[in-house]
């Protein structure tokens, strides 16, 4: 799949094929690096409450690595979020929030730029996980690869970073 680049250069949209497991299948993933936050929205084929799932937003930038995770489970269908550093230590981030909308089959994760160190640019990777009794199933919403790839560099409005070949989706930094 090829990412779609909007005219502002701040949004990556990737359309996906449906997968065999519809509870996990992502049909659209959007990421926006705005003036105040990095926002990821995932649209699923059939998002349902009652399952244990994680939705992950990984952020690479000119600042330290951050990962925002939203976990839903039968006791918390609206989800709980947390922010982690590279060593998996929990970080305080009062503005981190999310929305799980089962009727619309969407999950939205909003990470304030201040919690990511106010980066000039970000590269984002998304992942979804469905935890079952015997195993864990994951999906990479960006493309058809087996592991989450990172987007190209996304800059907030009004900023221009240096172009980088390594900033294209699916390439290592």
In percent, how much of the chain has pLDDT > 90?
A: 49
173: in domain: no
Residue 99 reports pLDDT greater than 50? yes
172: in domain: no
Q: CATH code at 16? A: 2.60.40
pTM for this entry: 0.78
Specify the pLDDT at position 92: 97
- Domain range for 39 is 4-167
Rounded distance between C-alpha atoms, residue 147 and residue 140, angstroms = 6
Residue 79 reports pLDDT greater than 50? yes
pLDDT digits (tens, 9 = 90+) for 123-154: 999 988 888 777 777 777 766 555 667 888 88
Confidence of residue 20 (pLDDT cuts 50, 70, 90): very low
Number of domains making up the chain: 1
Report residue 147 CA to chain centroid gap: 13
Specify the pLDDT at position 153: 85
Residue 51 reports pLDDT greater than 90? no
Rounded distance between C-alpha atoms, residue 33 and residue 135, angstroms = 34
Backbone angles phi, psi at 114, to 5 degrees: -65, -35
Residue 50 reports pLDDT greater than 50? yes
Rounded distance between C-alpha atoms, residue 77 and residue 50, angstroms = 7
Average pLDDT, stretch 96-121?
A: 96
Residue 21 reports pLDDT greater than 90? no
Q: Which long-range contacts (CB under 8 A, 24 or more apart) does 132-135 make?
A: none
Of residues 136 and 47, more confidently modeled? 47
148: in domain: yes
């Amino acid at each position: 799949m090829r990412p779609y680049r909007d005219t502002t250069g701040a949004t990556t949209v990737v359309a996906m094929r449906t997968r065999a497991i519809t509870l996990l299948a992502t049909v659209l993933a959007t990421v926006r690096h705005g003036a105040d936050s990095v926002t990821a929205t995932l649209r699923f084929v059939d998002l349902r409450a009652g399952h244990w799932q994680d939705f992950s937003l990984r952020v690479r930038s000119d600042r330290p690595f951050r990962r925002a995770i939203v976990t839903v489970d039968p006791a918390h269908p609206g989800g709980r979020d947390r922010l982690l550093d590279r060593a998996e230590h929990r970080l305080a981030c009062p503005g981190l929030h999310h929305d799980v909308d089962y009727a619309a089959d969407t999950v939205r994760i909003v990470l304030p730029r201040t919690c990511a160190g106010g980066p000039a640019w970000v590269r984002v990777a998304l992942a979804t996980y469905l935890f079952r009794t015997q195993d864990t199933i994951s999906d990479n919403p960006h493309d058809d690869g087996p592991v989450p790839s990172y987007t190209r560099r996304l800059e907030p409005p009004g900023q221009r970073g240096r172009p980088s070949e390594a900033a294209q989706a699916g390439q290592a930094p």
